[in-house]
A and B are shown apart, each in its own frame.
Chain A
């Protein structure tokens, strides 16, 4: 590992009384259901019976709830069965894949674990080396498993003495592929007003939970480093203890953007170009393009030739946004032109004979509204001389 180790104040190689568990907070997902009807008992069923309750995603008491809704004839039925999707949501079942342009969210839970003495105690392999070893962040259970599980169990006999945990504090940093330094992450929710330092006391079985967010901008190895420190006080003594865990994950490219500028005949003395772009979904998820916009240099203007402009969608109130399945591509197109009049032309930025347009920004949404956004580098085209003149 190239990054620095956290300076450990922890000379003692003893199991920790606080464990750290993490869960990546992708969007929760709608639960699928497969309603089946009960077997028809009467030889000729004269009505379509409601589905077997167990085949629905959740329980709904039609009779009890109907009374609460004033609207005539409308019950408070929320389940659209026999439709496959139901409105109840599941927490993320696994870590999944991370993509450039998305926001990585993760919850960090520092728990005051009180060991159950009758659990079999596996060999505790806890020490300076182990917590610092990066692990692959694959799912909740495997994320923090070994060390702290061993800790909790091995701590059993010792922790029969009453231990209080005070001043628990979580810190998190992200190490990105290109940067030599780490980015300190902001933890939410912030500590309650008045508590000052952001330190919390934990009673047995209590949890200090924080959420971190990080915008993923690079492909490659990321390491989330979480440091937990706390003051462990027994009847006779006390000490500050610290441990650190590293979670490694690989961020992949989500969208390949290919651009091609072209020259258009000048119009009213203003130079014009066409900028085409192909956006290819190289992730494993379906995405829907939300907006594709140019952020232009001063002196330039553009018009959008894409779905917003064409109003596709067959007369519906708003245009249908393109949906890209994995591997699919969408072609977009813009006409870029100089702003007309006065000193407009002078303001167009040119570098080494290149006209610089600006950047292309692409925003998309994927399952359950998960957002992604990325922008290209500066796009432009060679300045072609002589300029075409047209009255």
Chain B
């Protein structure tokens, strides 16, 4: 833990809990509302909100029910405050023991043996563009830890370190290894700590996307889903402040950026509530958000009601003309399915399929076909989607389920499917699949 010793300036702390909503009420104006941005908002994360980074291994036990996002007690790090700003040392993120080895055992042999497996020296951006997320996750770790020949980044090069760490964590979530990511993310400790603030500019050193991803992963890693809601609100608070700042400076592109980010975080709060199975809370929260003219909000609301089982409420979300026609009819067809009217839904999907190449429409139509006793047609439809290059987890899951239903030797069909998928072109949609995708 030596390398973390000098991380945490300790001083007189003001706990920030007073400004944190424990459980945001959606009925009142909150930091997620774009309107009413107070023009005189202080810059985010003012320096006196110092919070120490507790070295790994010295964390006080966390109670999942506790409404505290992160330990902010200074008692565990008796470290003197550093007198002057100097380059911060992020070497604690470069330790190899943080990162789990990734096995290829859950990758079907046709992928492992494929000539498309990238060579170890392939640059990470290329790996991402090719959808080689497992390889990219490994490459990011190697770059961080200095394994595999290249030297590790300088421990003060935070931009590079965070970029690699983000790549690592994001890729883990894409290869069905979110649980590992939730462990590895713990090494970041408390991103609200002033340690992560650039003392010169007052801005956060960690890229926004990593901070957003960190919320969900740390909530998982620490087993405290409620914390995700609060952490998103923290981000939203900062986004509002930056938005106000950009507005004051008449910086339109920054304004759009922070508006987007604020809206994004707002929707993610609803997602966190869904993950906590607080569906009515999520519904209330969504109702408090504004549609941004892209129809996504109506779709999100309708899906949430359907998930809860309230088909009537889902239907009410569709106001004629507000959504694109395809989205509107998609909701209508899903409502029919929720009502058990699979024949009616099938007819709707059939008509939608004429209009759109959307993978979702084909997959949902195939599912309906199974429910009305036409699995053979459904299977053929899914196979045609595979042939046209579609490869979502859902598509493969549903197709292998049909394979299991239509023969005793489903395994042979699944292996054949995995061979077919391994021979498809690489794309940013992801190339390598796992055994679980084929139910192998």
Which A residues form the contact surface with B (CB < 8 A)?
A: 19, 21-23, 25, 27-28, 30-32, 34, 36-41, 43, 45-48, 52-55, 57-61, 64-65, 68-69, 71, 73-91, 93, 103, 107, 109, 111, 113, 115-116, 119, 140-141, 148-149, 151-153, 188-189, 205-207, 209-211, 286-288, 317-318, 320-321, 323, 325, 364-371
Question: How distant is the Cα of A61 from the Cα of B392 in the complex, in angstroms?
Answer: 13
Contacts A59-B392, A65-B356, A84-B271 given: A39-B170 contact, CB under 8 Å?
Answer: yes
Q: CB distance B330 to A152 under 8 Å?
A: no
Contact with A along B393-411 (1 / 0, CB 8 A): 1110110011011111110
The 9 closest A-B pairs by CB, nearest first: A369-B338, A84-B271, A365-B309, A48-B260, A54-B430, A83-B300, A152-B408, A80-B299, A80-B300
Q: How many A-B residue pairs have CB under 8 A?
A: 303
**Chain B interface category by residue count:** 35 or more
Q: CB distance A107 to B405 under 8 Å?
A: yes
Contacts A107-B405, A116-B409 given: A65-B358 contact, CB under 8 Å?
Answer: yes
Contacts of B174 in A (CB 8 A): 36, 52, 54-55
Q: CB distance B324 to A71 under 8 Å?
A: yes
Q: CB distance A318 to B357 under 8 Å?
A: no
Q: CB distance B299 to A78 under 8 Å?
A: yes
Tell me the nearest residue of chain A to B374, going by C-beta.
Answer: A209
Q: CB distance A140 to B405 under 8 Å?
A: yes
Q: Is B384 an interface residue (CB 8 A)?
A: no
14 contacts between A and B (CB under 8 A): A38-B128, A47-B260, A69-B324, A74-B323, A77-B324, A81-B296, A85-B274, A85-B303, A88-B360, A116-B409, A209-B373, A209-B376, A286-B308, A318-B316
Q: CB distance B275 to A77 under 8 Å?
A: no
Tell me the nearest residue of chain B to A206, going by C-beta.
Answer: B376
Question: How distant is the Cα of A371 from the Cα of B308 in the complex, in angstroms?
Answer: 12
Give the distance to chain A from B235, nearest Cβ to Cβ, in Å.
13
Complex partner residue of B307 from A46, A85, A189, CB under 8 angstroms:
A85
Contact with A along B159-171 (1 / 0, CB 8 A): 1000100110010
Q: CB distance B307 to A30 under 8 Å?
A: yes
Question: How distant is the Cα of A321 from the Cα of B314 in the complex, in angstroms?
Answer: 13
Question: How distant is the Cα of A31 from the Cα of B312 in the complex, in angstroms?
Answer: 21
Contacts of B209 in A (CB 8 A): 36-40
Counting chain B CB atoms within 10 Å of each CB, which of A84, A85, A86, A318 scores highest?
A: A84
Q: CB distance A368 to B309 under 8 Å?
A: yes
Q: Is B294 an interface residue (CB 8 A)?
A: yes
Tell me the nearest residue of chain B to A211, going by C-beta.
Answer: B373
Q: Beyond A58-B363, A368-B337, list 16 extra A-B contacts (CB 8 Å).
A: A21-B406, A27-B340, A45-B208, A52-B128, A54-B429, A58-B394, A73-B293, A77-B296, A84-B268, A90-B394, A90-B397, A113-B409, A140-B405, A211-B372, A286-B277, A365-B310
Contacts of A320 in B (CB 8 A): 280
Contacts of B260 in A (CB 8 A): 47-48
Give the distance to chain A from B333, nearest Cβ to Cβ, in Å.
9
Contacts of A115 in B (CB 8 A): 409
Give the distance to chain B from A365, nearest Cβ to Cβ, in Å.
4
Q: Is B152 an interface residue (CB 8 A)?
A: no
Tell me the nearest residue of chain B to A31, going by C-beta.
Answer: B394
Question: How distant is the Cα of A109 from the Cα of B373 in the complex, in angstroms?
Answer: 9
Contacting A at CB under 8 A, from B267-290, are: 267-268, 270-271, 274-275, 277, 279-280
Which B residues form the contact surface with A (CB < 8 A)?
A: 125, 128, 131, 133, 159, 163, 166-167, 170, 173-174, 178, 207-209, 212-213, 216, 253-254, 256-257, 260-261, 264, 267-268, 270-271, 274-275, 277, 279-280, 293-297, 299-300, 303-304, 306-313, 316, 321, 323-327, 330-331, 334-335, 337-340, 355-361, 363-364, 367, 370-376, 390-395, 397-398, 401-402, 404-410, 412, 427-430, 439
Complex partner residue of B337 from A22, A28, A31, A149, CB under 8 angstroms:
A28
Tell me the nearest residue of chain B to A141, going by C-beta.
Answer: B404
Question: How distant is the Cα of A58 from the Cα of B429 in the complex, in angstroms?
Answer: 9
Complex partner residue of A78 from B170, B308, B327, B406, CB under 8 angstroms:
B327
Tell me the nearest residue of chain B to A59, going by C-beta.
Answer: B359
Q: CB distance A39 to B163 under 8 Å?
A: yes
Q: CB distance A89 to B173 under 8 Å?
A: no
Q: CB distance B268 to A82 under 8 Å?
A: yes
Q: CB distance A91 to B253 under 8 Å?
A: no
Q: CB distance A86 to B405 under 8 Å?
A: no
Contacts of B410 in A (CB 8 A): 141
Complex partner residue of B355 from A38, A68, A103, CB under 8 angstroms:
A68
Contacts A58-B395, A59-B359 given: A111-B312 contact, CB under 8 Å?
Answer: no
Tell me the nearest residue of chain A to B391, going by C-beta.
Answer: A59
Complex partner residue of B257 from A46, A58, A83, A189, CB under 8 angstroms:
A46
Give the distance to chain A from B167, nearest Cβ to Cβ, in Å.
5
Contacts of B213 in A (CB 8 A): 36
Contacts of A209 in B (CB 8 A): 370, 373-376, 405
Contacts A78-B326, A85-B303, A90-B397 given: A211-B311 contact, CB under 8 Å?
Answer: no
Contacts of B170 in A (CB 8 A): 36-39, 52, 55
Q: CB distance B356 to A76 under 8 Å?
A: yes
Q: CB distance B163 to A57 under 8 Å?
A: no
Q: CB distance B303 to A325 under 8 Å?
A: no
Q: CB distance B390 to A82 under 8 Å?
A: no
Question: How distant is the Cα of A25 from the Cα of B373 in the complex, in angstroms?
Answer: 11
Question: How distant is the Cα of A27 from the Cα of B368 in the complex, in angstroms?
Answer: 10
Contacts of B261 in A (CB 8 A): 48
Contacts A55-B173, A58-B360, A368-B338 given: A111-B406 contact, CB under 8 Å?
Answer: yes
Give the distance to chain B from A108, nearest Cβ to Cβ, in Å.
9
Contacts of A366 in B (CB 8 A): 309
Q: CB distance A91 to B337 under 8 Å?
A: no
Contacts of B212 in A (CB 8 A): 37
Complex partner residue of B429 from A27, A53, A79, A119, CB under 8 angstroms:
A53
Give the distance to chain A from B109, nearest Cβ to Cβ, in Å.
17
Contacts of A60 in B (CB 8 A): 358-360
